[in-house]
């Protein structure tokens, strides 16, 4: 017959109340920590499971994952790359990031308001201006010339070739965006 399990209240005694201060784990549910180097009866004496003497016993000792037994390591066998500045590599904080917007997102734009990075952010079309705003052509459905309002005026915005084509078709003033990418 299986023995009856005791509840937490029974283990604490009937008079004790249940609170955070009186909580404790069930008996033998948490194993005891191994105390290393504390007598012959423990089995972990003298070296304490570390092995013999030398480099591997010391704190931080060992050869490391990249050690190849004394031959020239892989990282040093590779040729060095020289003559390329970080700015030209377009990495890290040198990278130019644009806030991107599709042409179709300008469908309901009021023509009396000039389209600039600040006005796009104020109207909630872009969240972060980053290094500028670039308008892309989008899908064929989005760049439908009939949905774009005529007479839009742009300032300080870059365009893709397909976006420039779609906006020129409805007679938009692209402003000083001659240097598009």
Contact 172, 151 (CB under 8 A): yes
Contact 37, 48 (CB under 8 A): yes
- Convert the pLDDT of each residue in 129-171 to its tens digit: 888 999 998 765 554 555 888 889 999 999 999 899 888 888 8
Residue-level pLDDT at 151: 87
Query: Three-state SS for 159?
Result: strand
- Convert the pLDDT of each residue in 108-122 to its tens digit: 888 899 999 999 999
- Convert the pLDDT of each residue in 15-67 to its tens digit: 568 899 989 999 999 998 899 989 998 888 888 888 889 988 888 888 888 89
Identify the bridge partners of residue 101 per DSSP, sorted by sequence position. 135
**Distance, CA of 13 to CA of 148 (rounded, Å):** 78
Name the class of domain 93-169: alpha beta
Whether the predicted pLDDT of 5 surpasses 70: no
Listed by start position, the domains of the chain span 93-169
Residue-level pLDDT at 71: 96
């Amino acid at each position: 017959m299986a023995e009856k399990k005791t509840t937490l209240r029974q283990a604490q005694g009937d008079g004790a109340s249940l609170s955070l201060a009186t909580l404790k784990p069930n008996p033998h549910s948490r194993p005891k920590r191994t105390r290393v180097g504390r007598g012959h009866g423990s089995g972990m004496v003298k070296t304490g499971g570390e092995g013999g003497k030398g480099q591997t016993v010391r704190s931080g000792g060992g050869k490391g994952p990249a050690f190849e037994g004394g031959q020239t390591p892989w990282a040093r066998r590779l040729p060095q790359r020289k003559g390329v500045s970080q700015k030209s590599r377009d990495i890290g904080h040198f990278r130019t990031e644009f806030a991107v917007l599709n042409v179709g997102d300008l469908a309901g734009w009021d023509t009396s308001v000039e389209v600039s990075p600040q006005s796009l952010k104020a109207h909630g079309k872009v969240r972060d201006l980053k290094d500028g705003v670039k308008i892309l052509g989008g899908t064929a459905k989005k760049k439908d010339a009939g949905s774009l309002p005529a007479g839009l005026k742009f300032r300080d915005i870059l365009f893709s070739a397909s976006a420039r084509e779609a906006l020129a078709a409805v007679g938009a003033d692209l402003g000083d965006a001659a240097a598009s990418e």
